[in-house]
Amino acid sequence: MVWCKVDTRSEPADPAELEGDLAMPVSVDPTSVDPSRDQSAPANTSARVPASAQAPAGEKDEALRPHAEDAFAAELAALAAQDDRPRPTRWRMSPWAVAMYLLGGTLPDGTVITPKYVGPRRIVEVAVTTLATDRALLLLGVPGTAKTWVSEHLAAAVSGDSTLLVQGTAGTPEEAIRYGWNYAQLLANGPSRDALVPSPVMRAMSEGMTARVEELTRIPADVQDSLITILSEKTLPIPELGSEVQAVRGFNLIATANDRDRGVNDLSSALRRRFNTVVLPLPESADAEVDIVSRRVDQIGRSLDLPAVPDGIDEIRRVVTVFRELRDGITADGRTKLKSPSGTLSTAEAISVVTNGLALSAHFGDGVLRASDVAAGILGAVVRDPAADRVIWQEYLEAVVRERDGWKDFYRACREVSA
């Protein structure tokens, strides 16, 4: 960490002080403790977990959704070991290897790198190249275009840590981007580095890592602008201490945003100029979208211990077809114009619909993904406005689905859940 002291009357502090334990101290009145009681024994024996509910000996709890650097640790290690290209300062691998990690491929030793992003290669190359410069990266796109997914995997490949994250909401305060205070220490000792609570962005600056800001446009505009000095001057002033944190080489920031969702705040021109913007498009073709959905459903299904569905590709293609036609406002053959509902009907929502259908078929069916398993999920995704969207959905069922060859079972299933 680089501390630049403005007030020269005091000595620079040890950088490690910033990372100190900031937990509030708790004192225990010794008179309230029964000395005859065995302090090593559990305080509430009635709250013990039954033996039948405990995990078997030697079995370790698995995270429901591991971070990218953990889930794909073997691929990252193989890429780093065989990567002999130049690496920017503090990068775990070269830009070429980062792009291969996202796009997939086969290494010389036969290691298969699974694709994390299915889309134009040039988009990934521009995004990776941006991170190798001093420009921050803004991933822009409609909801469901894998912005968060791509940002997580970029941070994992570049820095080996995707957890330096600020989640943007309407209530995100400035402290989430800059720094906060441990108020117990602040009240006891006044402003000091021990009382300072670094934000993920401050930690990334001091350690030369990649920080992430998700849903930047959901953050209030005045809080967004606290990034301007960080991105332009690469410093974070701390006026309470008369000092600042300077970013070390390797630091960069990835932000995600969308401009179609409701409840967003436009970026100021000054802040937008600090980013290189990369727009992530929707899949170009139905086949590409089917491939994306099937890959993600397979990954999610394995993590949830759901059985593989050998014949599920037909239902996946139906879901994708419905979403694309309603999203584009025209049927796949271009013959019939359609009204589009208020929802985004993104690829991410298609993945959710198919995953839910897979769970239904596994737990309440015969394990084969059928139209009845995905019908309810499609209805929930399409009909967001109970009045207008329901009419649009009914018109689509009667005018398109009912007349389509081989879709009779799908039509009946959708009519049943819509009744």
Enumerate residues 6+ apart whose C-beta is below 8 A from 106: 112, 113
Average pLDDT over residues 90-110: 96
Q: Which residue, among 137, 206, 213, 131, has the nearest Cα to 174 in the 3D structure?
A: 213
Residue 45 in any domain: the answer is no
324 in helix, strand or coil?
helix
- Pairing verdict, β 179-181 and 235-238: unpaired
Q: Same structural domain for residues 267 and 343?
A: no
**For 168-214, how does the pLDDT look when each residue is reduced to its tens digit (9 = 90+)?**
999 999 999 999 999 999 999 999 999 999 999 999 999 999 999 99
Expressed as residue numbers, the domain containing 113 is 68-279
**For 294-344, how does the pLDDT look when each residue is reduced to its tens digit (9 = 90+)?**
989 988 888 888 877 666 899 999 999 999 999 999 999 999 999 999 988
Residue 255 sits at the vertex; the CA angle it makes with 199 and 197, to the nearest 5 degrees, is 0
Share of the chain above pLDDT 70, in %: 84
Q: Is residue 230's pLDDT more than 80?
A: yes
Residue 262 in any domain: the answer is yes
Q: Same structural domain for residues 131 and 253?
A: yes
Q: Same structural domain for residues 315 and 396?
A: yes
Q: Same structural domain for residues 249 and 319?
A: no
Domain boundary among 279, 313, 330: 279
Q: pLDDT at position 26, please? A: 39
- Pairing verdict, β 210-214 and 252-257: parallel
Residue 44 in any domain: the answer is no
Q: Which amino acid is at 34?
A: D
Enumerate residues 6+ apart whose C-beta is below 8 A from 97: 79, 80, 83, 85, 157
Can you read off the two tokens belonging to residue 367?
């394990």
Q: Is residue 4's pLDDT more than 60?
A: no
CA 158 – CA 249 distance, rounded (Å): 13
Residue 355 in any domain: the answer is yes
Burial class of residue 330 (count of CB atoms within 10 Å of its CB; 0-12, 13-18, 19+): middle
**For 144-161, how does the pLDDT look when each residue is reduced to its tens digit (9 = 90+)?**
899 999 999 999 999 999
Q: Same structural domain for residues 239 and 112?
A: yes
Residue 35 in any domain: the answer is no
Q: Which residue, among 322, 346, 409, has the nearest Cα to 373 in the 3D structure?
A: 409
Q: Same structural domain for residues 257 and 330?
A: no
Q: pLDDT at position 17, please? A: 41
Can you read off the two tokens belonging to residue 36?
């005859």
Residue 26 in any domain: the answer is no
Q: Same structural domain for residues 353 and 273?
A: no
Domain boundary among 220, 254, 279: 279
Q: Same structural domain for residues 210 and 343?
A: no
Domains in the chain, number? 2
Residue 82 in any domain: the answer is yes
Domain boundary among 253, 279, 305: 279
Q: pLDDT at position 1, please? A: 52
Q: Same structural domain for residues 414 and 323?
A: yes
Q: pLDDT at position 260, please? A: 72
Q: Same structural domain for residues 78 and 116?
A: yes
Q: Same structural domain for residues 395 and 272?
A: no
- Per-residue pLDDT band at 12 (split at 50, 70, 90): very low
Q: pLDDT at position 312, please? A: 84
Residue 335 in any domain: the answer is yes
Query: What's the longest Cα–Cα distance across the chain?
Result: 85
Q: pLDDT at position 279, please? A: 96
